[in-house]
Structure 1
């Protein structure tokens, strides 16, 4: 920021706006030590390879999911298009989803693919409509593309900010969704509301057996969940935007209270579940997450970096490591490649808060080794 004098009122407004967004404002620091949160890494990590472009010229690619045949589907937030991207980068449209109403941080957000073991070729999408955020299911064929959407869940609170939007199938075969509080903090603590939660449901949108409150709610007290991932032990991780103090990575427990709006970061007191990692917003504004090569990989928007968090087992994590700081701009989605040898990462420089490079936005491939 500059050295000009601001009035107190202006400072308050600026802080409120920064706390309500995907992360805009000031540029990240060139290097930032990770905030305390890990328990130390067991060994020195081997650096990943340099990112390379898979495909370019995209418009705010919000989600990446791989298909059984090795291609990926990519959701563009504002155009409502779903693109099919081959491993060699060849890209074509798979369909445009009806009913998407992009506004602010809303639009076409998360995608999920039914587990291959089910034999179901359906694709699921989370998007902002004129009335709410909702999840739909669509048949998918490689040649014909996406079919007509069928509503699976509706009534998730929506707004210009804090829409959550990440969906993923867990190792139990259930569909999970990370939602936001839609700017209404009280929703996060209301276990009858779908806002500010991690939801767990059957593929048909019914409450999954064993859910702690008998409805779709799996955990609560969240502000804006945009990343979901599981490790090899089945431990579930979620990334969460804080307001002005701390962003978080949480290990998700059924019925867990993650504290918002009472606390941000590590409260150190019951009944709140403390995050395993906390960052300041200029280091993170964390969105997509994926597990690969023994680490959790988290895309940072305002932080303009890819975070690697070593997974030590039992929900314990090592010290976070910041990679590619400021090199590719805002990063949004992360997906592990089917062979586990890399991750694909999307930029989000055309979302109104970035500084686009020529041919942005893009999908990057980052090679990994253990």
Structure 2
């Protein structure tokens, strides 16, 4: 196990018992477009001066959080290591895991007993040299234990797309994935940055996907006809729009997004999304049907007067660059890439009840994906081998984290 920046944890003695249990030139992508100054405001501060109202004057701003964050996040084991640019993570019914490799499209199986890693198969058609693109989100169908149906969001040569596969654990290693057709094609892709990639089934049984604006200009994010810079709600049987979408003829559920990589639903079934900002604010957004989240006209709070939905929480990119997200134990947990930390946002229903709290700062490098397991644990995927990190022996890893 690797600990960065001299961090030490009291759990080291327990780890052996629990084991079974983008490139630098993409500066305006997952890392934000610049480095905030040392005087950058704190996570819950109002925007920098410039005419925008402070959060309490914004019609869509949340009730101010005043309590300090409590809770804990303790790494209690390493599930697997030596993974190559991991991104999507799926828990199988027998306790094993599937993990996708962004570069090349390989899917590997991690054994629950011992953490051994074997090849499950490969997603055909994943484009090489796609910068932040490649094999991104993986989502098992709600009936996965019976159907074996798995959905993948990935970058192809000409577009981003969502395709279906069948997973058969009894097939030989490397042959366990069988293509089952494309569900959605024609999602715009950029040359290198902002492909989005979050993919998840909601409590409504629909498939949700988050897309990027493709080039940091935001020109497609505000174009209601484009699938770029959006959150999509998709009928998983047909690939079409569910009739109760904001526009029954469109997959678009919300717009004005820069680059969303994390989706999660709280205890009341409300949808939340992480948003990678440019050089001022990263965002945590509560998603409204038909809501416009402002990019590129607005970054962070202060856009309500213009009809945009303000973020519930915001951070300077150096402290976050949030990717994956999960709801566990009454809180949202956000994995930070550039911020190299795990953020906790405690909720009462869909209302934050305390300031965000940061855990594991700098201990494991860049953090990519979060998956809830059991009642009080997360699986946390590190991301040091994606071309932007500083990989050490054993990177990348899947960690088991106990949270409260």
TM-score (norm 1): 0.89
More moved, 107-116 vs 140-149: 140-149
Alpha-carbon distance between aligned partners in 1 of 2:101 and 2:289, rounded to the nearest angstrom: 31
Alpha-carbon distance between aligned partners in 1 of 2:144 and 2:111, rounded to the nearest angstrom: 22
The answer on whether the counterparts of 1:66 and 1:72 sit within 8 Å (CA) in structure 2 is yes
Deviation of residue 317 (structure 1)? 5.0
CA deviation string 1:36-83 (max 9, x = no partner): 488437786332223531100101101112223322211110031111
The answer on whether the counterparts of 2:140 and 2:151 sit within 8 Å (CA) in structure 1 is yes
Alpha-carbon distance between aligned partners in 1 of 2:37 and 2:136, rounded to the nearest angstrom: 25
The answer on whether the counterparts of 1:60 and 1:78 sit within 8 Å (CA) in structure 2 is yes
Partner of 1:77: 102
Partner of 1:212: 246
Deviation of residue 208 (structure 1)? 1.3
The answer on whether the counterparts of 1:23 and 1:301 sit within 8 Å (CA) in structure 2 is no
Partner of 1:93: 119
Deviation of residue 93 (structure 1)? 1.5
Alpha-carbon distance between aligned partners in 2 of 1:57 and 1:254, rounded to the nearest angstrom: 40
Alpha-carbon distance between aligned partners in 1 of 2:158 and 2:69, rounded to the nearest angstrom: 49
Alpha-carbon distance between aligned partners in 1 of 2:26 and 2:382, rounded to the nearest angstrom: 22
The answer on whether the counterparts of 2:33 and 2:278 sit within 8 Å (CA) in structure 1 is no
Q: 1:300 to 1:51 in 2, by over 3 A?
A: farther
Alpha-carbon distance between aligned partners in 1 of 2:332 and 2:166, rounded to the nearest angstrom: 30
Whether 2:329 is the aligned partner of 1:302: answer no
| Structure 1 unaligned residues grouped into runs of 5+ | 1-15
Whether 2:179 is the aligned partner of 1:148: answer yes
Alpha-carbon distance between aligned partners in 2 of 1:326 and 1:38, rounded to the nearest angstrom: 30
The answer on whether the counterparts of 2:68 and 2:354 sit within 8 Å (CA) in structure 1 is no
What is the RMSD computed on CA atoms of the aligned residues?
Answer: 2.4
Partner of 1:347: 382
Partner of 1:9: none
More moved, 47-56 vs 111-120: 111-120
Partner of 1:132: 159
Alpha-carbon distance between aligned partners in 1 of 2:396 and 2:33, rounded to the nearest angstrom: 17
The correspondence of residues 9-158 of structure 1 with structure 2, limited to 5 A, is 18-22=27-31, 34-36=43-45, 39-40=64-65, 45-88=70-113, 89-102=115-128, 103-116=130-143, 119-144=146-171, 145-158=176-189
The structure 2 residue matched to 1:161, chosen from 178, 193, 204, is 193
Partner of 2:305: 269
Alpha-carbon distance between aligned partners in 1 of 2:109 and 2:93, rounded to the nearest angstrom: 13
Tell me the number of residue pairs that the alignment of Structure 1 and Structure 2 aligns: 352
Alpha-carbon distance between aligned partners in 2 of 1:250 and 1:146, rounded to the nearest angstrom: 34
Q: Which secondary structure state, in structure 1, belongs to the residue aligned with residue 219 of structure 2? A: helix
Alpha-carbon distance between aligned partners in 2 of 1:227 and 1:121, rounded to the nearest angstrom: 24
TM-score (norm 2): 0.82
CA deviation string 1:293-341 (max 9, x = no partner): 111010010001111110121344531111111111111011001x122
Partner of 2:286: 251
The answer on whether the counterparts of 1:97 and 1:149 sit within 8 Å (CA) in structure 2 is no
The structure 2 residue matched to 1:170, chosen from 202, 208, 233, is 202
| Structure 2 unaligned residues grouped into runs of 5+ | 1-24, 46-61
Partner of 1:180: 212
More moved, 110-119 vs 75-84: 110-119
Q: 1:271 to 1:49 in 2, by over 3 A?
A: same
Q: 1:152 to 1:28 in 2, by over 3 A?
A: farther
Q: Which secondary structure state, in structure 1, belongs to the residue aligned with residue 27 of structure 2? A: helix
The answer on whether the counterparts of 1:59 and 1:79 sit within 8 Å (CA) in structure 2 is no
CA deviation string 1:146-175 (max 9, x = no partner): 112410000011121000001000000000
